[in-house]
A = this chain, B = another copy of it.
């Protein structure tokens, strides 16, 4: 049996978003939010385009998902993001009480696990390493081109 809508499936959708960021010369991070097996928000890093440090992929999809649901709590939602979220973004998921965070590549410098796991909402589950290689290669490729 092929399970179509698993973590890898949704991470591939987040990767598509990350590639859009790449194409726009943004650090290639993409995210989707899933509720009841359906993607309700898609977004990618737009910090350069919007000239705004707060415009991370995760922040944009959290705002968008709340708009979509008509409520600001995302208890029954899962956030898929290609890179380990920073403290700002995990702080946002804490306020939103998000159900699950799934991330691909680890962010050795700015990922929230470098600071404190206490930042997570106590009910948020975390899954790591989904399509880690693809997510990581996209980042490495981006920075290699910058040099």
Contact = CB atoms under 8 A, between A and B. Distances in A.
Interface of A: 47, 51-54, 59, 62-63, 66-67, 70-72, 86-92, 94-96, 115-116, 118-119
Q: Is the interface of A mostly helix, strand, loop or mixed?
A: helix
A53 B59 CA distance: 10
Contact of A87 (B59, B63, B72, B119): B119
A59 B62 CA distance: 14
A54 B94 CA distance: 10
B62 A92 contact: no
A29 to B, nearest CB: 13
Contact of A92 (B53, B70, B118, B119): B53
A72 B51 contact: yes
